[in-house]
Structures are given as structure tokens and as C-alpha cells.
Amino acid sequence: MVRFKGFTLIEVLIALTILSIALLAIFRGNLFNLRSAKEASDLTTAVIAAESILKEQIGKGYPASGFTEGTFEEDYFSGLKWKKQVETLSLPFIQDLKVVYVEVEWGRNKSYSLQTIISKY
């Protein structure tokens, strides 16, 4: 009786099944990495946008109390919405302090907020 050396159909099918499962896991991992990189990029952009609003406010000097909001028009921040609220901070024996809250929103229910205290002096 002559025996041929090679793989049977069952062995080939099992190998292909294992290979396809491994490739699916690799592709899924890459998709997760791409989503994470996009979220990190969006968060970094929001942080820079919020810092730019705070720096602009600090550059203007002592702010008046109130609430303002708007949308960025620049290319880098386009589409991001922002809100800024300035409130007087009341502390005993300390006067002329304001708290500035800045919140930047993007996407669905995603936001980043910063706050700082500005002195008149």
C-alpha cells in the first residue's frame, strides 16, 4: 500500500480556522488602537483649546464676572464649542480674586474643563 505524504482536508481546514481567528484578533486590536489614538488626539486638541482661552483671558487682564460661550472658527480648533464663566472668589482677608472656568466640548458628551484664579494685582 502506497502512502502519500501531505495534509488531509481536515488538517487544512483546522489550520485555516485557527489562522482566521488569529487575524481577526489582530485586526480588532488595531481597530482599538486607532480609536484610542483618535480619542487621545481629540483630548489633546481640547486641552490646547482650553489653555488658549485661559491665556487669552489672562492676557486681557482682570476680567469682569459673567458667562460667555462660542465656537472656535480657527482651522485647528474648528467645530469645538467653548464656555467661559468668571466668578468672584470670596475668601476672608483676600480681595479682588476671580475664578475663571473654561469648558471645551466636542463630539457627543465629551468635554474638558480647566479653571484658574486671577488676581487684580
pLDDT of amino acid 38: 92
Task: Give the domain range for residue 24.
Answer: 9-119
In a domain, 54, yes or no: yes
CATH number of the domain that 35 lies in?
A: 3.30.1300.30
Number of domains in the chain: 1
In a domain, 1, yes or no: no
Query: H helices of 5-91, where?
Result: 9-60
Please say whether the beta carbons of 49 and 114 come within 8 A. Answer: no
Give phi and psi for 4, each to the nearest 5: -90, 140
The C-alpha atoms of residue 25 and residue 21 are separated, in whole angstroms, by: 6
In this prediction, residue 92 has a pLDDT band, given cuts at 50, 70 and 90, of confident
In a domain, 112, yes or no: yes
The C-alpha atoms of residue 3 and residue 15 are separated, in whole angstroms, by: 22
pTM, two decimal places: 0.74
pLDDT at 67 over 90: yes
Torsion 13-16-20-26 (CA) sign: positive
In a domain, 4, yes or no: no
pLDDT at 74 over 80: no
